[in-house]
Amino acid sequence: MIPSSVPLSDLRNGKEAGLTFYMSKYGSSLRFFAYSIVKDKGAAEEIVSDSFYKLWNGRERTKTEDNVRAFLYLSTRNACYDYVDLNVNRAKHDSEALDMLIQPDQDFEAQIIYNELLNAISKELEKLPATQARVFKMSFFEGLETKEICDMLNTTPSTVYFAKSKAIQALKEIFKEKNLKYYSLFLFFILNK
C-alpha cells in the first residue's frame, strides 16, 4: 500500500505519478457526480478531465489529501453548474475551488461523502438481480412510492416489497464486509428515505 503522503508529494513536485494516482482514486466517483448534475456522459467526462487539469495547474498549493479531494469535487460541481447554465459567476467558482486547496468546507465534505456513498451503492446495484436493482433505484433514488413502482413495472406490491427488502439485505451485507463507514452511512441512507 502506498502511503498517502507519497502521491501528494509526487503531485506537488510535478510528477505525473501523483496526478495519475488521484485520477485513479477519484475519477470514477467524479464522473458519477458530474453525470448526476449534467446528465450527459461526454460532458461529465470532459468536466472531470478539466478538474484534473486545474488540480495539476494548482498542485503547488495542495496541503493535504482532503484538500485535493475537496478541490476536485468543488471544481467539478462548479463546472457542472456552469455547463447547465445556472447563473453563477465562473471567476467566483475558480476562486472558491482554489481556496478549497487550502481549507475544505465541512458542509461540502458531507456532500462529497454522500456522493461517494451513492456511487458505491450504484456500483453494487449493478451486481444484483435486475428487478431488485430497479426497484431499489426507483424507491430510493427516484423517490417513487410502492404503488407508482407497481404501475410502472406492472407488478404487485408484494413483489416490490420482496425485491426492495432483498436488495437492502444484499447491500447491507456488501457494505458490512467492505467498510464500516459506508455500512453506517448506508443504514442512515435507507432509514431516512
Cβ burial of 193 (10 Å; 0-12, 13-18, 19+) is: exposed
Question: Are 120 and 149 in the same domain?
Answer: yes
Question: Which of 76, 104, 132 finishes a domain?
Answer: 104
Question: Which of 37, 70, 104 finishes a domain?
Answer: 104
Asked if residue 77 lies in contact with residue 37, where contact means CB atoms within 8 angstroms, the answer is yes
Question: Are 10 and 84 in the same domain?
Answer: yes
pLDDT digits (tens, 9 = 90+) for 27-74: 988 988 888 888 888 888 999 999 999 999 888 888 888 888 888 998
Q: What is the mean pLDDT of the chain?
A: 80
Query: pTM for the complete prediction?
Result: 0.54
- What is the number of domains present in the chain? 2
* CATH number of 37's domain: 1.10.1740
Question: Are 15 and 76 in the same domain?
Answer: yes
Neighbours of 77 (CB within 10 A): 23
Question: Are 113 and 136 in the same domain?
Answer: yes
Question: Are 136 and 165 in the same domain?
Answer: yes
Question: Are 130 and 47 in the same domain?
Answer: no
pLDDT at 1: 44
155 — phi, psi (to 5°)?
-140, -175
Question: Which of 104, 128, 160 finishes a domain?
Answer: 104
Asked if residue 73 lies in contact with residue 30, where contact means CB atoms within 8 angstroms, the answer is yes
Domain of 157 in residue numbering reads as: 108-191
